[in-house]
Amino acid sequence: MSPRRNRPKGPGSSGRSADEDRERYGGWQSTESWQGEEWNVRHVAGASAEGKTYRCPGCDQVISSGVPHVVAWPEFAGVDDRRHWHKSCWNAKDRRTTRVQRSRNAPKY
């Protein structure tokens, strides 16, 4: 039988690497250019979105609790301008057309 490895960790060390912590607690953040502005984009892990729901501005559908998604806001905007997007909606934002509001009985073609 091999001996146990009980080595003390340094102060504040959780045993995980910085990359693992970043991935677990909100992912990584980058800056992207869209519509002539710089946007801060943060990838949110599903675990950190537990118990919260948001409405995606790309598809106007609810982002369920615990679903990984993207938070984006203009670079020089405040907290109130943050928007939560599905990852696929954020990636397809340039291919989307303006949303047409249809009545319930309107044909979908």
Q: Which range among 17-31, 61-75, 83-97 shows the weakest confidence by mean pLDDT?
A: 17-31
**Residue 50 pLDDT > 70, yes or no?**
yes
Alpha-carbon span 17 to 35, nearest angstrom:
36
Please name the amino acid found at residue 20: E
Confidence (pLDDT) at 45: 84
Residues 6+ apart with CB under 8 A from 104: none
Query: Is the pTM of the predicted complex or chain greater than 0.75?
Result: no
Alpha-carbon span 16 to 18, nearest angstrom:
7
Residues 6+ apart with CB under 8 A from 34: 93, 94
Q: Is 90 in a helix, a strand, or coil?
A: helix
Q: What is the DSSP string of 17-55?
A: -HHHHHHHTT--EEEEEETTEEEEEEEEPGGGGTT--EE
